[in-house]
Amino acid sequence: MTALLYALGVVVVALGIAVSIALHELGHLVPAKAFGVRVTQYMIGFGPTILSRRRGETEYGLKAFPLGGYIRMIGMYPPHKGDAPGTIREDSTGLVQQMSRDAREWEASQYDPSEAHRTFSALSVPRKLVVMLGGPTMNLLISAVLLAVLVCGIGLPSTSTTVESVSRCVLPASAPAGTSCEGRQEAPALAAGIRPGDRILSVDGRGIDEWSDVTTAVRAAGGSRIDVVVERDGARKTLHATPILDQRPKIAADGSAQKNPDGSIATEKVGFLGIGPGQELQRSSPLEVPGMVWQTFEGTARIVITLPMRLVDVAQAAFGDGERDPDGPVGVVGVSRLAGEVASADQPEFDLTAKVSTLISMLASLNMALFVFNLVPLMPLDGGHVAGALVEGVRRFVARLRGRPDPGPVDMSRLLPLTNVVALAFLAMTVMLLYADIVDPITLFP
């Protein structure tokens, strides 16, 4: 049964990625066709074609390795303007110029000159931007929809006012897990009769709406006897507890433990009771979705910006003695393994709702990563074409201001050497992540 659930998790995420890629390419296809560009292929995957069908002037198909996709539009590079008879072409004297010329000539051979007005290079700058941003925008929308399902439909994990754990004894805040209670003072909560499952209604006469209210009231009541009203088995029960004064971590505004300049946890002497909160899924208003999308975007952008350094860490973990960062980049194999672990997890906290929520969250994060990564202004990514269109717009604007002739579209074929280098770098990154995910995988349950 565990193996079947593991396989189901892998299949679900694989299908989610495939659908995300298909919709990304659809985001390019629809505006391109709407603007009259002839699209010859719409393909999901790379390598040999295993299934295809032609509808109108476009071939729709599936390739052997569904790790990406593309649409092919005619005239991605502008044709050569031509030279006067007897002149030597400027682009025939160097490797880069030759590569550019060959690419333009190959592009021009794929369509009849009468269709020049239907090429991508013939589009206006705004239309080029719409076509190239259509794919990443689709991924952004998918991520936003999935996050909305999480926030408004399923709910996000939140601390409840129900007690989940009661300490047996008083241990120092720095004590490692598993420290024995032998010879230790009994925890005040245990002495007061507080049990897991009790819902805290009030502490020292203060009504409790969220767990932070419990923390505030207990920390302020160190050394004093207080009443703790709980709901147990549907009935109200008043218990009497005396929180002890103890060195506990300082709490920051965001609820995390404050740290000293040297990295150690800052402490203060406050009341300690010895109870821990449970978790519950809390639905929020749709108004919370934009903030969640922005938070996901910020986190993903930080990862993309620091990707070179993170890849160095991955290489050190895969080929040396370094440790794999659990929040670092993973490849297709790594994502599949994590999805399988989520689906087959038998921990009590991972019920069906938690598993579905986690898988949806993974797909939302993957689509946000596709959105951000494709906006990197390097060819062959969509961001490279966007940058080219923006440069073209600036050139034409400056030419109009100076009363000069239209300089025409930017010839992106001149960036082919850089494009090839970037493509090889992406391939190397993919292979390294594949290797790292096999020999030193990130796991959900170490």
Predicted local confidence at residue 41, as pLDDT? 92
Q: What is the mean pLDDT of the chain?
A: 85
Residues in contact with 194: Cβ distance below 8 Å, sequence separation at least 6, in sequence order: 163, 166, 228, 230, 239, 241, 273, 275
**Exposure of 81 in the CB half-sphere (CA atoms within 13 A):** 10
At residue 89 the predicted structure's pLDDT band, cuts being 50, 70 and 90, is very low
CB 43 within 8 A of CB 26: no
For range 235-262, the mean pLDDT: 79
From the candidates 25, 107, 341, 392, give the one annotated as an active-site residue. 25
Output the pLDDT for position 86.
Answer: 41
- Residue 74: strand pairing partners: none
pLDDT at res. 88: 43
The string of pLDDT tens digits covering residues 349-360 is 677 888 888 899
pLDDT average, residue stretch 184-190: 87
Please say whether the beta carbons of 268 and 275 come within 8 A: no
Q: ∠ CA(70), CA(74), CA(78), 5° rounding?
A: 115
pLDDT at 31 over 50: yes
Predicted pLDDT at 271: 86
Q: Is the peptide bond before 286 cis (omega within 30 degrees of 0)?
A: no
294 pLDDT more than 90: yes
Name the H helices within 306-415.
307-319, 332-344, 352-374, 382-401
pLDDT tens per residue, range 141-173: 999 999 999 999 988 888 888 998 888 888 776
| Predicted local distance difference test score (pLDDT) of residue 87 | 38
Residues of the chain within CATH 2.30.42.10 domain(s) are 158-282
pTM of the model as a whole: 0.79
Three-class SS of 136-186: HHHHHHHHHHHHHHHHHHHCEEEEEEEEEEECCECCCCCCCCCCCCCCCCE
Query: Percent of the chain at pLDDT above 90?
Result: 33
CATH for 158-282 is 2.30.42.10
Confidence of residue 29 (pLDDT cuts 50, 70, 90): very high
CA nearest to 342, candidates 325, 323, 319, 365: 365
Q: What percent of the chain has pLDDT over 70?
A: 92
Residue 407, pLDDT > 80, answer yes
How high is the pLDDT of residue 95? 63
Q: CA–CA separation, 262 vs 318, rounded Å? A: 30
Establish whether 164 is a catalytic residue: no
Confidence of residue 14 (pLDDT cuts 50, 70, 90): confident
2-11, 93-102, 288-297, 422-431 — which one is most confidently predicted on average? Answer: 288-297
HSE-CB for 320 with a 13 A CA cutoff: 7
pLDDT of 108 > 80? The answer is: no
User: Which candidate, 150, 446, 388, places its Cα nearest to that of 286?
Assistant: 150
Nearest to 277 by CA among 183, 190, 346, 213: 213
Q: What is the tens place of the pLDDT at every residue in 299-338?
A: 999 988 988 888 888 888 888 887 888 878 888 888 888 8
Cα 226 to Cα 22, 213, 231, 272, 445, distances in angstroms: 61, 14, 17, 12, 40
Which is more confident, 141 or 406? 141
